[in-house]
Amino acid sequence: ALTIGIVGLPNVGKSTMFNALTKNQVLAANYPFATIEPNVGVVPLPDARLTRLAGMFTSERILNATVDFVDIAGIVRGASEGEGLGNQFLANIREAEAICQVIRGFVDDDVVHVEGKISPADDIDTINTELILADLQTLEKARPRIEKEVKGKRAPADQLTAIDAAVEILESGKTLYQAMQSDNFDVTELRELQLMTVKPFLYVFNVDDDVLADEEKKAEMRALVAPVEAIFLDAKFEAELAELDEEEAREMLESTGQEEAGLDQLARVGFDTLGLQTYLTAGPKEARAWTIPKGATAPEAAGVIHTDFQKGFIKAEVVSFGDLDVNGSMAAAKSAGKVRMEGKEYVMVDGDVVEFRFNV
């Protein structure tokens, strides 16, 4: 599964948030093939469409798509030089598909800040710097080898150009992901180097509840990381929410004036940051969301259910959730001409409700 690695300086609330994530995690029974590991939180992606589908198809159960979060142990200044858990830390990050940095915004004199003061901008800088330094080392090491390969015409010259451009970006203090977001920097030629800062990033500001309601303060923090996505939550509050049952949690959330739990937001933004979307299937057994990359074709989507579905793909019967919802049933959607037969070339759209036809 695709995972999002949670990183951050010590004492910013990572464990608190991660514990809330794991308490919130889907019942293992629903996911017989999911291995439960202590440092992985499998979090359901909230999706109201599934409830509606389950009603329409009288499905026995609902299976949400999930997002996997991995707790990556402490980074400190100097990690790229092997300080603290440095090397292990970098190895763990390499394995994650995206990185989520938790940043301390809450004020609490009883909780020591590792750098002596609460400054989101400095915290972001500290982590970025470690990842940037690690990438610069990787690039420096790779350059002579690739230079030789280019001379011997065993590698495209573009690769060398890309390395030099990447070094320039990193030396200016920017991550490659930032450059991809703001300047369309193309990392195709750098893929094989497994750089850290090309990974999609998202930021979680762990803040007090008064900040959650303060749009001006949030805008200030958001500006620190733009155009990269930022979300705001109160980790302590989220941990309390995760202890409650669904009904109680909803009431508690409403009492604070929040529309969506922070962890739900995190799952949603994380999913999107990973470049993923879902399509839906429904029947008497289950209403279910399946995870596919944006841009996946119908046979690729079928392959997520079973490789045989992809190999023997004939066509897909597709109706958008919106059309199905409006018409109230599959039969009504069909009479209204909203159910389409799509072939091999069809590119899936988020929320497509699908039934595949295939040869076995």
What are the residues binding ligand GDP (CB under 6 A)? Answer: 8, 10-16, 106, 108, 111, 206, 234-236
Nearer to ligand GDP, 35 or 255 (CB): 255
Residue nearer to ligand GDP on the CB measure, 31 or 106: 106
Q: CB of residue 173 vs ligand GDP: minimum separation in angstroms?
A: 24
Q: Which is nearer to ligand GDP, 36 or 111 (CB)?
A: 111
Q: Residue 33 Cβ, how far from ligand GDP at the closest point, in Å?
A: 29
The pair of structure tokens assigned to 213 is 């309601």
Burial 240-251 (b: 16+ CB within 10 A, else e): ebbeeeeeebee
> Is 89 within 8 Å of 14 (Cβ atoms)?
no
- Shortest Å, Cβ 217 to ligand GDP: 15
β-pairing verdict for 276-282 and 286-293? antiparallel
Single out the residue of 21, 221, 270, 24 nearest to residue 106, CA to CA: 221
Question: To the nearest whole angstrom, how small is the minimum distance from the Cβ of residue 232 to ligand GDP?
Answer: 11
Token reading at 306? 């079973």
Closest separation in Å from C-beta 15 to ligand GDP: 3
Residue 241: CB minimum distance to ligand GDP, A? 12
DSSP for 238-273 reads HHHHHHS-HHHHHHHHHHTT-SS-HHHHHHHHHHHH
**Within 10 A of 348 (CB to CB), how many other CB atoms are there?**
24
Between 113 and 222, whose beta carbon lies closer to ligand GDP? 113
Tell me how crowded residue 1 is: count the other CB atoms within 10 A of its CB: 11
User: Between residues 211 and 353, which has the closer beta carbon with respect to ligand GDP?
Assistant: 211
Of 19 and 87, CB closest to ligand GDP: 19
Strand order in the sheet with 230-233: 40-44, 66-71, 3-7, 98-104, 201-206, 230-233
